[in-house]
C-alpha cells in the first residue's frame, strides 16, 4: 500500500507544502504571535520531518513531544482550528485531494489533547 508520504512525492514536496503553510500562518493574526520568537528555518525543518512521518514516511522527527512543544502556550480550539485550516489550504494548493486532506486532518486532530490548554 502506498503511503500518503509516497503519494505526495516525499520530503521535498512536503517541505514546499510546509513553506506555503507557514506563509499562511504568519499572515494570520489569530496565530502568528506564537511564532514571534521562533527560528522559522528550524521550525520548518522540524515540521517537515514531523508531517513526513505523520504521512507514513521515515521517522526522522527528533523534536519534543507534542505536549512538551506546546507547553506554556495555552492554545485554544480557535488556534488549533486556524492551523488546521491553513494546513488544509496548503495541501489543497498543491493539488492534494479532499479525501487525502481529510486523512491528514484526522491524524492531526488525534493530537489535539497533546496540544490544547498546555
Taking a C-beta distance cutoff of 8 angstroms, is the pair 105, 57 a contact?
Answer: no
Question: Structural domain boundaries of the chain?
Answer: 9-115
The 10s digit of each residue's pLDDT in 16-58 is: 999 999 999 999 999 999 999 999 999 999 999 988 988 899 9
**Dihedral pair phi/psi, residue 99, rounded to 5°:** -60, -45
Annotated binding residues for heme, as ranges?
Answer: 46, 70
Q: Structure pTM?
A: 0.91
Answer CATH for 9-115 from 3.50.50.60, 3.90.1170.50, 1.10.490.10, 1.20.1250.20: 1.10.490.10
The 10s digit of each residue's pLDDT in 55-94 is: 899 988 777 888 899 999 999 999 999 999 999 999 999 9
Annotated binding residues, as ranges?
Answer: 46, 70
Exposure letters 12-21 (e unless 16+ CB within 10 A, then b): ebbbbbbebb
Taking a C-beta distance cutoff of 8 angstroms, is the pair 21, 40 a contact?
Answer: no
Taking a C-beta distance cutoff of 8 angstroms, is the pair 5, 56 a contact?
Answer: yes
Residues 13, 118: Cα–Cα separation, whole Å: 31
Amino acid at each position: 500500500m502506498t503511503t500518503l508520504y509516497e503519494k505526495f512525492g516525499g520530503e521535498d514536496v512536503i517541505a514546499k507544502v510546509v513553506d506555503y503553510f507557514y506563509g499562511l500562518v504568519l499572515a494570520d493574526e489569530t496565530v502568528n504571535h506564537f511564532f514571534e520568537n521562533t527560528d522559522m528555518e528550524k521550525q520548518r525543518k522540524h515540521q517537515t520531518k514531523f508531517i513526513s512521518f505523520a504521512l507514513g514516511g521515515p521517522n526522522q522527527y527528533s523534536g519534543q513531544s507534542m505536549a512538551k512543544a506546546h507547553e506554556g502556550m495555552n492554545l485554544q480550539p480557535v488556534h488549533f482550528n486556524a492551523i488546521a485550516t491553513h494546513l488544509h489550504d496548503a495541501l489543497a494548493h498543491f493539488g492534494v485531494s479532499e479525501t487525502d486532506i481529510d486523512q491528514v486532518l484526522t491524524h492531526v486532530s488525534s493530537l489535539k489533547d497533546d496540544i490544547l490548554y498546555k
